[in-house]
Each structure stands twice: as structure tokens, then as C-alpha cells.
Copies of this chain bind each other. A is one copy, B any other.
Amino acid sequence: MRAKKEDRRINRTRKLILEALMSLIIERGYENVTVQDIIDRADVGRSTFYAHFRDKDELLISWFEHLRTLFEQQQQELLDARKTGKEPGLNIVLDLFRHTGNHHRLYKAVAGRQSGEMILKYLHRYLTGLLLPILEDAVKKRPSLPIPVEVTTHHLVSSLLSLMTWWLDRNMPYPPEKMEGMFRTLVRPSLEAALGKDIVQDAGITEDGGLKNEEVVGFYSLFADPSCCR
């Protein structure tokens, strides 16, 4: 809504540059794309590029934040649908796979084999920051665990991301529902072994992968923090 005040040229140029980046990443991978390539394909002047983005990395981040916005919108819609009484039982992992699948061309460029690792590290840090407090809280009462919570968290996040990139790199050979099922099959027993069966259930991770109330709040904020990396 506030975008009304923007000069049309600005949006046009940004769009051209972002589209050029995307197609180039898909073609040859992020590392092998130069600013020169981007402005050639986008057909904008060199100085124009630098008027919009500090460098190639900021461009990628900027694009990634666009994707985050898309995901937030989707989650918001789900949440709204839930309030109207349908109670669909949010499942963030499933939503993630679905969302990623819907925009696979974008994500393949960003998070696939071709990507710089920057985004994956960004995501890893981000997810860890969200999951760690939840697990730490769930485990508060138990004095000693076979595995430190930090390690468990790291393992969980890594597993999700590795499954995600595997799926993208192979052009999504299974539907999101199946991927989410595999993730749960692989990771749930690890979680139970690391934290104890009771804690996993207490933490609101239900048998079918859905989440109970409080955790939804925590997980919902996934991608919702506007603070940037770097």
C-alpha cells in the first residue's frame, strides 16, 4: 500500500535485476554469476545497479527476504483460516515443504546445489535461534540428558535443511506431504532418543507432526523476524 509513493522506474529496475539474478543462478550457480552478467542481462547501467544494491550478496539477501515475505503471507492465510473455526492444525515443516515446492524455481536457485552457502547458513542460524529456546524450555526440568540440547537442535535443523536441499536438487521427486512424512520418520525417533519420549510429547509435537498451541506461536514466528544477517 505504501508502495504507491515509489517511482515506477525503481520497481521496474529492481525487478529486472532480481529476475536476471534468478535466471543466471539457475544457469550457472551463484558463485559463477558476476555483477557484469547481471547488469548485462537486466540491461541496466552499472551505476544503476550499485544505486540499488551494495553488492551481489546484498542482492541475494534482498531477494531471499522477498521469499520470506511470501512465506509469511501464506502462513498468515493459514492462521486466518484457522480462526474461522476450521482448526487445520498448523504443521510448519509441511508448510515449509509446500511453500518451497510452490516456488521451487526460486528456491532451487537460492538453496539448491548451485547456491552460495550464505543463504543456507542464514537459514540454519535462524531456525536454530528459534528452535533452541523451545527445546531448552522443554528440557528445563530434566537435569541430565544423553545429548546436550545444543547438539540435538543442530542435528534437527541440519536434517531439515539437508532434506530440503536434497529434494530441490533432485527436482522434487516426491510430494511435500511425503517429504514431511520422511522427515518425521527420520527425526522423531532421534528426538525421543535424545530428549526422552515424554518430553517430546510434552513439547507439543504430536504424533501426526502437528503442534500444540503455545509452540505454534513460537514456530509461527519462523521467518518473521526482520533483522538481517551479515
Spell out A's residues near B (CB within 8 Å).
Answer: 117, 146-147, 151-152, 154-155, 158-159, 162-163, 166, 181-182, 185-190, 192-194
Contacts and interface: CB of A to CB of B under 8 A. Distances in A.
A28 to B, nearest CB: 16
12 contacts: A146-B182, A147-B182, A147-B186, A151-B163, A151-B166, A152-B186, A155-B159, A155-B163, A158-B158, A158-B159, A185-B190, A187-B190
A155 B151 contact: no
B151 A158 contact: no
Contacts of A146: 181-182, 185
Contact of A186 (B155, B162, B166, B182): B155
A177 to B, nearest CB: 13
A162 B155 contact: yes
Contacts of A192: 189
Contact of A158 (B162, B185, B193): B162
A142 to B, nearest CB: 15
A178 to B, nearest CB: 9
A194 B190 contact: no
Contacts of A158: 158-159, 162
A189 B193 contact: yes
A35 to B, nearest CB: 17
Contacts of A194: 185-186
Contacts of A166: 151, 154
Kindly list the 5 A-B residue pairs having the minimum CB-CB distance in the complex, ordered from nearest.
A189-B189, A158-B162, A186-B190, A189-B193, A117-B117
A170 to B, nearest CB: 9
Contacts of A188: 193
A182 B158 CA distance: 15
A131 to B, nearest CB: 14
A131 B190 CA distance: 20
B117 A147 contact: no
Contacts of A154: 162-163, 166
Contacts of A163: 151, 154-155
A14 B227 CA distance: 44
A1 to B, nearest CB: 40
